[in-house]
Amino acid sequence: MIEIHDIAALKAWSAERHKANKTIAFVPTMGNLHSGHMSLIDHAQTLADEVVCSIFVNPTQFGENEDLDAYPKTLSDDIDKLKAHGCHVLFIPSAHDMYPQPDLTRVTVHHMSTLHCGATRPGHFNGVTTVVLKLVNALQPHFAIFGLKDFQQYTILKTMLSDLFVPTQIVGVETGRAEDGLAHSSRNGYLTALERETAPCLYATLCTARQHLEAGIKPVYEIVREAKEFLMENGLTPDYFSICRQIDLEPATEQDTELVILAAAYLGRARLIDNLHFHLNR
């Protein structure tokens, strides 16, 4: 596996691979890699000749009082995992490389970025869209691979790349889960042993809400109220629990069939996010 540390070298490598008519699949990460990330690398292998992973803890997507300084860094272990899964290139830029001074530009997908996670993390998605566009512009990959655990992030990035005519195709990979349903996440490492036993109730709550929607016997507001009550009864503090249409993450109407249930909740030091996206037969 090749390690690249600066933008110029990444651009040069990409230009050479494009000249050789090789396809490139890109998996951007913030490191502290787990099995969910590895499933993205594995999927990338099926799409392209070359698989590139980046590790960059992006400061612009962290707000005040968030865990930028405490975000776990496990580079040596990450490198071993990437090599074991056949990653071809690892890009590890510095903050100075990614945000040369003066740092004046941000990319915004209006409105969608202020919903759900964006409501309590103002500016977060502006940081995400900005860094992803920078990375994609430097690498020029044919595919960019993202996990669907953060469905809002995936939808915002898909919208951004489409609106700006970026030729990279965004690919979503289904959420990796533990046997008890808990979605794989770097922040699961913040959970105590007792909290880890409680955490799967977030996914269970999503599944129950989906069942109620499919049964069609309860109004949406009641499904949402019961879901939040169940989470609180089990020791989680809901941030939001929203039943939306997939295309723009706006509240679902009775006519919508392509739905996503988005949820975030606090448990101890961890902020857990999860979702279920599905077609509703009416």
Instruction: Tell me the catalytic residues.
Output: 37
Residue 237 has which token pair?
């503090």
CA distance 129 to 132: 5
CA distance 273 to 187: 10
CA distance 261 to 269: 23
CA distance 44 to 10: 18
CA distance 166 to 161: 5
Closest listed residue to residue 216, CA positions, set 250, 246, 243, 240? 243
Task: Centre a 10 Å sphere on the Cβ of residue 73 and count the other Cβ atoms it contains.
Answer: 13
Angle of CA points 263, 28, 24, to nearest 5°: 130
Residue 152 has which token pair?
């809002």
DSSP 213: H
Identify the burial level of 178 via C-beta atoms within 10 angstroms of its C-beta, where 0-12 means exposed, 13-18 middle and 19 or more buried: middle
Do residues 7 and 54 make contact, with C-beta atoms less than 8 angstroms apart? no
Identify the burial level of 162 via C-beta atoms within 10 angstroms of its C-beta, where 0-12 means exposed, 13-18 middle and 19 or more buried: exposed
